[in-house]
Structure 1
């Protein structure tokens, strides 16, 4: 998919450079759908949309980029879109916001002047990190820094800002009492630098840039007062920020002070430490493997199985909560409110203010300290998380430590439960569960979880308490961790006294300091355990901006160099998934609560999604509207997984190994009071799933989606992609012997038919989507009562169809195919049709709104292939092709055909082969054509031209 997305992007760029905007946009949007979370693609598509006149589509993308990345270019393009849409009031509002945070380039000046005039402002302004401000106004103005007047200007022009302007918070330009557009300007936003530094074998290296003014080349202030420039753009910085223009710098070893002088501070022009500083130059030797001359503290210690301490009770010397704080007033105060309302009176709360840049936050902390509710330690300059945590732990004076991030929310009883886990000599650290805690995340560990509200966090915590009671705290079996997680980390006083504090010399602003501490503690026999009876909400770090990945990668390299084998230790823990059973117990408890008091139906389905998945979802929605609750059972590589049928991510840990854990699965299904089972597909399932209803003592229904009941190849097609004609059992055996089957089990056709006959005749209810399927199933299983249950309302869909529509005079006939086109869905037919069109230069354009197993072969023959799509995108994609008729190329009988519904919904008549649900529905509609199966592609092309081509 990555290769295909890159290829589509390259084709799109080439088409745009050649001046073909429409074709370029087609390819770029194909790439965007293949790589939906790529912001650089979103940016490129947005620009192409603007060029093509699709202004609203550009606006939507720019809004997302500005919101997600605070992107200057997106902010100004958003204004351009609003002006073109004639939304001038919104444009003025957005331009004010953009100018107050970003430097405007000269290309933006006319637009700013136009909007200022339209909004009735006396002019506009933009400032630069060079220490200048450009003002455009017809009258004299006054310049203020933090409310103090510094300059009287005569009118339009560029002016130098006063000395010390970087230390101010706001810059205002007023004409009389009125602000010009862009005033007041947020100086911190304008001057903010993203940066990173690390030690390497040849000195120090890093990068820096100013997101509000990427054209500006910042200088780095070194420890001795000298500076170094950063001019050249870097090419290898891994950044999530689109259009990031990082500039590299290098401080060679010759400029470094003599060995043993300690940490070196590097700062930006605002006096802020670079991310990664202070830095010890000797770390460059460590990560390069040149460790012979390093001091003991920087020499590697290999990770291995250390001798554990005895598991004996201990007496706690008391406990203190330590919370390092930097920014984000709202989240920090939310955290402190939950902490102060839940901490016992004998547990001091120590807050370390790491030189917050937010005056309001500093005042709030001062008030809490004055009230005696916290012990406040304040740094005069920003020092980073490890140093802040250490200062707080020193102030705790030998107590157990509960180290907490300032972006967490804690429930009642959190202190007591953590301390209960610390009540043994061998336990060094304890970490609770959270929505964002890597190996301790819940419910999912392999993807981000939503951040819970305070009420949601308390509900999850009550569930944890009920599922894992205090009795469990006496044992840590199965809860051992390779390392704690610093978002909420309990540390025993003995462990802290013996191991020492976090290392301030290695990890700078943070990432990895708690892992290093835990590895050192493990070497002394301390264990690190989880506390599943406690759930703490964690918003998650957004610190360090562009540098987040770089700092994390740097510190991970340091960790692995200092503790060889650390990566493998964590990887083994993840592969073993040792907390799976713990998370599953929580999922089971949540599932039982969700289903309480509701009738529950179990939907058995395969794991391929598609039409089966859609039917399951729609039937589950209908069942839910009647007050019921639907569960889905899907096959899994080791057995099965149980899901909320309408939200597959809700209970990600309900995986069961079969047949070993069949009793547990049955217990869960009984606890949620499953009253019936509905079979949709059994492909991929263990054989015991076929008798699940018997073990539960409930009835089962069958929804027939395809011909798997008598055809091991499922689609009624042979290996060459031809409809088999449904021979007798002997003919089927010959077909399977030659071409193989897809059931995933060793069963003969005769045994399959016999088993299917028993299972279908024993079901309470049989359903199929169309009469054609009913007839085919009855032909093989006479006497069954099967109900035809249409999956869409064709009468309503037929009302959309434009009868007798023809191609525009002088234009080629545009034929549109919809869906994921496999071999039996007509891939070979489509390929052959495209070849005939190209060979004979027929005036037909083929487009596929969807994908195939080989898009490239189709595109080489001139077919426009959009790539995979979401269901909510399909109609817009069909419209973009401007089609005249739809084509369903399936060469086997479908039991339904959602693609046909999409074609009708778009107003098109449809052509298909006269078999299966597709032929039945087209014939019944009285529109379009159902043509004989096997019609040669050239004949099909000529038929399309005669019926829907232009009427010349």
Structure 2
């Protein structure tokens, strides 16, 4: 079956390793090598694209940059380069999409301004002016856009525009007189030009530039957005170092205010700062050890020029010696190796009361949603303490004041931002003597959550409890090893109900290496003995709760999960782009303070004692989705491609017919059960080790009401999957996608890349003996055929995609009823073809090939065609919309190779090539060929070899042409030219 996603090898078919599955372990080295290969391909495409754009070869540049984007979809630098290329060639809509994406994800200043340029070029002047105003209010202007700002202000009927700088001035361009107001107070008046702002301006919120009663374009300026600083300071053996920059004004040269009042300019651009933000321009500084106060003088403050602490400040310079392994350290930094818990005797305890502590910084909408969910669910005897860590959002501060005035919360407020550890500590001190529930302000909680947590705080050895959440490190659900989507509120509430029903208060007495501070219940006893979070070490936050838990463990306190509670967690709203660097810094400190911490967490993850809890939730969620419907189980391999696409379409059809479609894929140790009716719903814990967990798998499938099994591909599966239907006592159908049932090489090709002609059994054995098998199992050809015959006879239905496949199989398995079940509607696909091919005089013939090319898919044919085309007088261009295991060889021969693509962009990508005719170069019989349908859907007639389903369908279509298999390349090209000129 044709595949646009499988990664075939060149030797003849998709290899055993490509399928993976049971008994095949993909090592970390293999994964790393594959990533290196893909990264190298993407980097090559990116480099060639940039070189082509720089030398004026714009279309070549676009081709290579688009290839790079498809190969590195998460790279903002590639997205940026492609967006600029689109703007350069006038593809403004595509540029705008990427600019808005970059602004939304990264808050990128350049993307914000260039979005305005795109809107202007689309003649969306009113939107452009509005967007320019919004952008000027948050960012210092790009110098190249000053004239555009003037034009847009005039078109908007405004007197002019303004832009502010971190240097303490505002540039005003207008006709007439303006007034400058800071938080509503007049601080200046004058004409067009630069206005110096008064001392302390950066502590304001709102800077207005008014002309008469109207504000100019860009006013009011958001001072907090303009002055937002990304930074890091850390202690090292040689002193202090770090970096700083202002995303709203990257060209501004910052200065630092040191602990002793000295000012340090930071002009040097960094070369080795790991940043996810494209076009970031951090500037580095280093303060040598001999410039620091001598001896152990405690914390040193390092601030930016606006008197705000850098991320990681204040910093203890002695940490540098800790990280270097120096033994001459003060007691506060003495390492305490992680050891097995020294459990204290446990007996019943009575809670002295409970307080919820919520540190708050920014994000008014998210914070108020959190507080509303808490206030609706908190018991009457539980206080809610909110610590406002100097929020930069006046509206949020006002909303907190209102809640405090109404008596709904106790509000503590910092005069300046002190970070999460200090805020948490201030709240916990205010609740001293009571159990504490520490809660992030980006969470949502549900009825009964407090009562369930408190019910678990009933023994004296309990230190902390942490519930399940979508983002909770080792307590994440459904997946622990990958990012989970933030669930919608209704879905999160249902998850909480499910947790509450499923797990009792005394369940899950599982020791955790650490709790998680997003929602962590701490007993008063544990807090009193352990002390508060370490404000002196962890800066603005990350790692402080881990250090707390490790100190508590050393005192005999235990940390448990609270699986009967689920809390939705947006995650890391307050950290900005400094988060990654601060996390790395603090993790180093954590491991230096508690040697062995990483190893303990790794061992916990490897043993995964929470798996059974997550599995239980997965099964219950699937059962809920099923309702009273019967289920059908579709078994497939793990290589995706055409089989995966067919399974998806079958699943959609079964869902329409009132069944729940489930899928089974092979894994290294067994299989993974999936829900095929909704790809956004994942159940990653339903992995089963086989054969030992076969009874459990059967129990789960029985509970889910599986009434039939449909085989699509068994390659890569454990042997027991072949008899799973017997264990379930249900019938099974077989949907045949290739020739694996009688050909151990699957593709009907010998090792020289030629169609074998399907000889008798002796001929097959000789072929396999010489060229090898791809089955991954020790079975002879006669045994394979006998087994297939037996399994065919046991099936209720034998489904095949085409008549050619039915006829071919009938020769090997006479007497079987192979039912033809097409995978696509060819009539509908052919409706996209124009009645007559349009020939443009003087333009080369463009031949488009689609998919992932292995040898049997025609790789060698295309390569030979490319070499021959280079010598022909007639101009012909070959384009592969897809990929191969060796793209570079085709590219070197002159083929344009787009790289991998998603199914939803395939038709558009083919159409962008402006091809004249499609080619299916497969040299072995396909059972269906999705690539053919894709070419038809894209409006191209198709030529192929006279073999397999591809030939059957092209002949039936009456468009394109069919060539004899093995036709020499020069005759092939002549045939294709004739088909094109005849308008077939």
Q: TM class by shorter-chain length?
A: over 0.9
Structure 2 partner of 1:398: 433
Deviations 1:272-296 (A, max 9, x none): 111100100111111122x222112
Give matches, 1:89-128, under 5 Å.
Answer: 89-128=126-165
Quote the residue 1:862 is aligned against: 894
CA distance in 1, matches of 2:542, 2:121: 45
Q: Which residue does 1:271 correspond to in 2?
A: 307
Per-residue CA shift, 1:839-861, capped at 9, x if unaligned? 45652211100000110111111
Match status 1:635 vs 2:671: no
Q: Tell me whether 1:361 sits opposite 2:396 in the alignment.
A: yes
1:600-611 alignment runs, 5 A limit:
600-611=631-642
2:682 is equivalent to residue 646 of structure 1 = no
SS in 2 for 1:593: helix
The question of whether the paired residues in 1 share the 8 Å contact of 2:65 and 2:81 is answered with: yes
State the distance in 2 between where 1:917 and 1:898 align. Answer: 10
Matching of residue 497 in structure 1 with residue 528 in structure 2? yes
Which of residues 366, 383, 389 in structure 2 aligns to 1:331? 366
What is the CA distance between 1:710 and its match in structure 2?
1.0
Deviations 1:400-433 (A, max 9, x none): 2211111111122222222232222332211110
Contact persistence 1:813–1:949 (CA under 8 A) = no
* Cα distance in 2 between the residues matched to 1:244 and 1:806: 48
Match of 1:207 among 238, 243, 259: 243
**1:466 partnered with 2:507:** no
Aligned equivalent of 1:739, options 771, 784, 787: 771
**Greater relative CO (CA pairs within 8 A, separation 6+):** 2
Shift of 1:635: 1.0
- Give the Cα–Cα distance (whole angstroms) in 1 for the partners of residues 950 and 234 of structure 2: 63
| Contact in 1 for aligned 2:750/2:771 (Cα 8 Å) | yes
Q: Who is 1:555 aligned against?
A: 586
1:227 is the counterpart of 2:263: yes
CA distance in 2, matches of 1:645, 1:319: 44
- The 1:362/1:803 distance shift into structure 2, 3 A limit, reads closer
Q: CA deviation at 1:758?
A: 1.6
Deviates more, 1:173-182 or 1:307-316: 307-316
Determine the C-alpha separation between the residues in 2 that align with 1:688 and 1:894: 29
Equivalent residues in 2 for 1:472-511, closer than 5 Å? 472=507, 476=509, 479-511=510-542
Contact 1:803 1:909 in 2 (8 A): no
Say which of 851, 863, 866 aligns to 1:831: 863
Supply the distance in 1 between the matched residues of 2:967 and 2:522 (Cα, whole angstroms). 76
Aligned pair in 2 of structure 1 residues 452, 288: CA closer, same or farther (>3 Å)? Answer: same
Question: Is residue 2:77 matched to residue 1:40?
Answer: yes
Determine which of 794, 797, 809 is the counterpart of 1:762. Answer: 794
Partner of 1:181 in structure 2? 217
SS at match of 2:713: coil
Cα shift at 1:471: 4.4
1:813·1:950 contact (CA, 8 Å) conserved in 2? no
Conservation of the 8 A alpha-carbon contact between 2:188 and 2:195: no
**Does residue 1:308 correspond to 2:343, yes or no?**
yes
1:188-587 alignment runs, 5 A limit: 188-289=224-325, 291-472=326-507, 476=509, 479-587=510-618
- Any conservation in 2 of the 1:123–1:180 contact (CA below 8 Å)? yes
Answer whether contact 2:442 2:573 (CA < 8 A) is retained.
no
SS at match of 1:534: strand
Give per-residue Cα distances to partners, 1:361-397, cap 9 Å, x unaligned.
2333333333333332222222111111112222222
CA–CA distance in structure 2, aligned partners of residues 316 and 771 of structure 1 = 74
Give the Cα–Cα distance (whole angstroms) in 2 for the partners of residues 9 and 545 of structure 1. Answer: 28
CA contact (8 A) 2:110 2:142 kept: no
- C-alpha deviation, 1:879, in angstroms: 2.2
1:24 aligns with 2:56: no
CA distance in 2, matches of 1:527, 1:786: 62
| TM-score, scaled to structure 2 | 0.94
Verify the 8 A CA contact 2:362 2:574 in the aligned structure 1.
Answer: no
Q: 1:656 is matched with which residue: 688, 692, 701? A: 688
**In the alignment, structure 1 residue 688 sits paired with structure 2 residue 688:** no
Q: Which residue of 2 aligns with 1:818?
A: 850
Q: Is 1:172 paired with 2:208?
A: yes
d(CA) in 1 for partners of 2:980 and 2:793? 47
C-alpha distance in 2 between matches for 1:59 and 1:230? 34
Match of 1:783 in 2: 815
Match of 2:101 in 1: 64
- Contact kept, 8 Å, 1:206 with 1:248, in 2: the verdict is yes
Please report how far the alpha carbon of residue 232 of structure 1 lies from its aligned counterpart in structure 2 after TM superposition: 0.8
**2:53 counterpart of 1:12:** no
Q: Specify the SS of the correspondent of 1:449.
A: coil
- Please state whether the residue corresponding to 1:560 is helix, strand or coil: helix
* Structure 1 Cα separation of the partners of residues 619 and 829 of structure 2: 42
CA deviation after TM superposition for structure 1 residue 950, in Å:
11
**Does the residue aligned with 2:598 lie in a helix, a strand or coil?**
helix
Equivalents in 2 of 1:425, 1:719: separation in Å?
70
Deviation, 1:803, is 5.0
Partners of 2:912 and 2:899 lie apart in 1 by 14
Q: Which residue of 1 aligns with 2:977?
A: 945
Q: How many angstroms apart in 2 are the aligned matches of 1:808 and 1:368?
A: 72
Segment of structure 1 superposing worse, 357-366 or 595-604: 357-366
Shift of 1:457: 2.0
Asked whether the equivalents of residues 470 and 568 of structure 2 are also in contact (C-alpha less than 8 Å), the reply is: yes
The answer to which of 484-493 and 118-127 deviates more is 118-127
User: In the alignment, is residue 75 of structure 1 matched against residue 112 of structure 2?
Assistant: yes
How far residue 321 of structure 1 moved from its aligned partner, in angstroms, is 1.7
- Runs ≥4 residues deviating over 4 A: 839-842
* Structure 2 Cα separation of the partners of residues 369 and 812 of structure 1: 74
Task: Kindly state the Cα deviation for residue 902 of structure 1 after the two structures are TM-superposed.
Answer: 1.3
CA contact (8 A) 1:275 1:544 kept: no
Q: Alpha-carbon deviations, 1:341-374, whole Å to 9, x = none?
A: 2222222222222222223323333333333333
Could you tell me how far 1:61 is from its partner in structure 2? 0.2
CA distance in 1, matches of 2:946, 2:612: 52
Unaligned runs of 5+ in 2: 1-37
> Separation in 1 of the partners of 2:969 and 2:201?
74
Q: Name the CA distance, whole Å, in 1 between partners of 2:629 and 2:89.
A: 52
Offset at residue 769 of structure 1 (A): 0.7
Does structure 2 retain, via aligned residues, the 8 Å contact 1:83–1:91? yes
How far the C-alpha of 1:312 sits from its partner, in A, is 3.2
Q: What secondary structure sits across from 1:139 in the alignment? A: coil
* Separation in 2, partners of 1:346, 1:802: 75
2:34 alignment partner in structure 1: none
Question: What are the equivalent positions in structure 2 for 1:882-893 lying under 5 Å apart?
Answer: 882-893=914-925
Cα shift at 1:126: 1.4
For the residue of structure 1 that corresponds to 2:232, the secondary structure is strand
Q: 1:310 to 1:80 in 2, by over 3 A?
A: same
CA distance in structure 2 between the aligned counterparts of 1:232 and 1:404, rounded to whole angstroms: 40
CA distance in 1, matches of 2:695, 2:169: 74
- Alpha-carbon offset, residue 804 of structure 1: 5.2
Of 881, 889, 892 in structure 1, the residue corresponding to residue 913 of structure 2 is 881
Where 2:765 maps in the other structure, the secondary structure is helix
Does the 8 Å CA contact 1:894/1:918 hold for their aligned counterparts? Answer: yes
Counterpart in 1 of 2:170? 133
Cα deviation, residue 874, structure 1: 1.4
- SS of alignment partner, residue 664 of structure 2: strand
Q: Does 1:152 align with 2:189?
A: yes
Q: What SS does the corresponding residue of 2:870 show, helix, strand or coil?
A: helix
Match of 2:32 in 1: none
